[in-house]
């Protein structure tokens, strides 16, 4: 997969995780463990996107 396609794919996953975080926070009793996992994955994806954009191969 070309880097540009990978970045677009990661951006989609990042946006999806953002929506999941918002939805979880809107629940009456958000699951802190789930939120932590979602935020960690979102940050991992953000770092990967930034790395690919900073150091294109």
Cα angle: 2, vertex 18, 57; to 5 degrees: 20
User: Tens digit of pLDDT for each residue in 15-32?
Assistant: 999 999 999 999 999 999
Say if CB 53 and CB 4 are below 8 A apart: no
**What pTM value is reported for the model?**
0.88
User: Tens digit of pLDDT for each residue in 36-53?
Assistant: 999 999 999 999 999 999
- Smallest Cα–Cα separation from 56: which of 2, 8, 14, 13? 2
Which of the four pLDDT bands, split at 50, 70 and 90, describes residue 1? confident
């Amino acid at each position: 997969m070309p880097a540009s396609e990978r970045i677009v794919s990661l951006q989609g996953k990042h946006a999806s995780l953002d929506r999941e975080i918002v939805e979880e926070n809107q629940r009456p009793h958000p699951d802190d463990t789930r939120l932590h996992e979602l935020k960690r994955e979102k940050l991992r994806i953000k770092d990967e996107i930034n790395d690919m954009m900073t150091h294109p191969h």
